[in-house]
Amino acid sequence: MALPRGDPMITESAFRVVQGFIFLAFVLHRAYYNRKYPASEGETLEEQRRSTSGWIANLLALPALLGLLLYLVNPAWISWAALPLPDWSRWLGVLVALAGFALLQWSHHALGRNWSDQPRIMQSQTLTTSGPYRWIRHPIYTSFLSILGSSLLVSANWFIGSLWLALTAIDVRDRMRFEETRLHARFGRTYESYKQSTGGLLPRLR
């Protein structure tokens, strides 16, 4: 006797709620730390300037947000980009997002006042090597990719997922280039030694 299967409409509604919650939680988390540690221009020695690729990432954010909004309101409006993913893979996407949030919060706790929404070098800057920074130099960016990239699985929509992955990857690459260069200039051999014992976005395989 075949086991009864859940109503696909109810299941899809659940994923829509979860996807909306993930995005809202990400925005609120960013807003909280922006308010907690506002940028101090007087403390800033150098701040990353917007590059061409940064503008491209901003442009990609518009269709990404529109696609997400269409999916949350009525998935049928963007069903042309739907992926035939099994439910277990979509729940795996939820776990990836939750792991990303855990890493994001752990990273913020380790960074403290060294954190800034826009990459910058401050007068009081110290080199953080505790928490996840013991193994990864840019764990916050790893969490960005995990949280926003999880939309590919959770929404089961290639248009939404690929756009969020692309714009996040572009933004992360720009931020990493700026930070790696400036931190090396500021901390010299100390940073070089730290760099050789850690990975950029994932722990270094020994």
DSSP-based three-state secondary structure for 129: coil
Calculated CA dihedral for residues 79, 172, 129, 134, nearest 10 degrees: 50
- What is the pLDDT at residue 1? 40
User: Going residue by residue through the chain (206 aa), what tens digit of pLDDT does each one get?
Assistant: 443 445 666 788 999 999 999 999 999 999 999 998 887 777 777 888 877 888 898 899 999 999 999 999 999 999 999 999 999 999 999 999 999 999 999 999 999 888 888 888 888 888 999 999 999 999 999 999 999 999 999 999 999 999 999 999 999 999 999 999 999 999 999 999 999 999 999 998 76
- Provide the whole-model pTM: 0.91
Q: Among residues 172, 174, 171, 149, which one has the least CA distance to residue 162?
A: 149
Here the tokens at position 112 are: 């403290």
DSSP-based three-state secondary structure for 111: helix
- What is the pLDDT at residue 2? 42
Q: E-assigned strands of 21-82?
A: 44-47
Return the domain boundaries, the chain: 50-196
Q: Among residues 85, 96, 71, which one has the least CA distance to residue 149?
A: 96
Contact 15, 155 (CB under 8 A): yes
Domain boundaries 50-196, corresponding CATH code: 1.20.120.1630
Q: Among residues 4, 83, 1, 50, which one has the least CA distance to residue 174?
A: 50
Query: What's the rounded Cα separation, in Å, for the pair 26 and 32?
Result: 10
Distance of CA 65 to the CA centre of its chain: 15
